[in-house]
Amino acid sequence: MANQYGDAAIMAAQQGSSDSLDPGVRWDSAMKKLSISPNSQKKSCPKDIFLGLCEEGRVKGTPKGNYTRSKKNKAYAIRALEFLEGGADPLSAKKLWGLVTNDSGTTPNNQMEVVLALWNNDLITPASGPVKK
């Protein structure tokens, strides 16, 4: 089960296929629905992970674009997907964070909860492009 940031990512991604709103606006809207805490609503790392994936066209229903300035969180997101797409078993957020950061001791800030929520809910576009059905 995802935490509120994972839930926000799912909500924001699902709006993408039916709504033309910017993914950042969709994220903010989802967080306002999920949390009454202003600090939680403004937390940047989970949002930047989501926007980094959107920027790369990896969130279903969201076209590539310029959505974030956070190069570090975007890089974490792409690296996490590389592990998952490479066949890594569904990992806990903690274990995935360790892989992504090479166990550097960098403190996580709910980034992998966002990636795993999107991954586990089939909201990630494969690296090779859209899935053909």
DSSP lists the bridge partners of residue 124 as 59
The CA distance from 85 to 107, in Å, is 24
Total domains present in the chain:
1
85 phi/psi in degrees, rounded to 5: -70, -20
132 in a structural domain = no
63 in a structural domain = yes
Nearest to 80 by CA among 94, 66, 65, 61: 94
Structure tokens at 14: 């699902």
- How far from each other are the two terminal CA atoms of the chain, in whole angstroms? 28
The CA distance from 115 to 81, in Å, is 8
Q: Which sign does the torsion angle of CA 79, 81, 84, 87 carry?
A: negative
19 in a structural domain = yes
CB atoms within 10 A of CB 108: 16
List the domain range (segments joined by +) for residue 55: 4-120
Residue pLDDT tens, the chain, 133 long: 469 999 999 999 998 666 668 999 999 999 999 988 999 999 999 999 999 999 999 999 899 999 999 999 999 999 999 999 998 776 799 999 999 999 999 999 999 999 999 999 999 999 865 444 3
